[in-house]
Amino acid sequence: MLWHISFWLLVALIVLPLPFKIYEYATCKDKSSIGVKIEEMSNALFMAVGLIAFYGYLNDQVYLFPSFWITWLVISVVWSVSAIFWSPKLVYATEVMGKTKMRIFAGIGLVLYSPLFLAVYFYAI
Cα–Cα distance for residue pair 111/59, rounded to 1 Å: 23
Q: Tell me the per-residue pLDDT of 87-102, one tens digit each, with 9 for 90 and over.
A: 777 777 777 788 788 7
Cα–Cα distance for residue pair 98/100, rounded to 1 Å: 6
Answer whether 25's CB lies under 8 Å from 37's CB.
yes
* Arithmetic mean of pLDDT over the chain: 87
Q: Tell me the per-residue pLDDT of 30-75, one tens digit each, with 9 for 90 and over.
A: 887 888 788 888 888 899 999 999 999 999 898 888 999 999 999 9
What are the C-alpha distances in Å from 98 to residues 17, 25, 42, 66, 82? Answer: 23, 23, 24, 40, 20
